[in-house]
Structure 1
Amino acid sequence: MAKTILIVDDSASVRQVVSIALKGAGYDVVAAVDGKDALSKLDGQRIHLVISDVNMPNMDGITFVTELKKLAAYKFTPVIMLTTESQDDKKKAAQAAGAKAWVTKPFQPPQMLAAVSKLIAP
C-alpha cells in the first residue's frame, strides 16, 4: 500500500509540481491550501509525511506544524518545510515546532524526493 503525503501550500503550481513528483515516485497525495485547510483534512487517516510551506494565509506553516504535533495521531509524523525562506530564525522556529527537514524553493523534484526518502520509504 502506498504511503500518503500531505502537501500544504497556498500556491497551486507548487502543489501540482510536488504532487506530480510524489505520485510519480509511488506516493498517495492529499493537498491543502493552508494550515487551517490541512488540519481540516486530518480526519484520522494515516499520513506518513507532511510537506508544508511556511508563508501562507489563514494559518502559516510553523503554526500548522505546532498544531499538528498536538494531535496524538500525528505527533510523530515527519514534516518537511518547503519554502522560499532561508533565515536561520525561521528554520529554528520550524525545527522547534517539529519540522525534520528544510527544502528551499525553487527546488528540483529529485532534491525533494531525496529528502522524502530519508524520512519515509516509498
Structure 2
Amino acid sequence: MNEQDFSSDPEFEPLPNRAIVYRALLRKQWIDEDTGLVQSEAYYLRKNKNEQGLSVNIASVCSPEQCAAKFRTCYGVARLEVGGIRELGLDVIPDSISHAEIAGLPYAEDDTERADLLADLLAQQSQIIWQP
C-alpha cells in the first residue's frame, strides 16, 4: 500500500472542530450577483485536474487578505467552520502549516447526486468575509 493517509501524518495536527478555514473564490460565477452568497459551484472537485480535495487556508495562520493574495485573481474569500464540514461526513486535512484540503467529496462525474448535495450544503455554510 503506497497511499498516503494524511489523517495519521504526525507532521500536522488535526484541526479542532471550532477551527475556521477560508475558501478562495477564484471564479466570478462562484458568487451570486443578486444575493452575494456563495454558489455551490465553488465546492466541486475537478476530476480533470485530478483533485483529491478542495483547497482551503487555515484562518489561524492566514488572513482573508493573505488567502486572496495567493492568487492572481480572487473574487472573494468564504469562511467555513471545520465542525460544520465534518457534520457532512467530510474532513479537513492539513497538508501544511497554513493549508488544508476538504476530503471526502465525490467527483460529480462519479456521483452527481451526492456531489450536488454536498456542494449545496457547503455553500450554505459559507459566509463571504472578504471581497476586493
Give TM-score, length-normalised by structure 1. Answer: 0.30
Which one has a larger percent helix, Structure 1 or Structure 2? 1
- When Rg is computed on C-alpha atoms for both structures, the one with the higher figure is 2
Tell me which of the two structures has the higher relative contact order, counting C-alpha pairs closer than 8 angstroms and 6 or more residues apart. Answer: 2
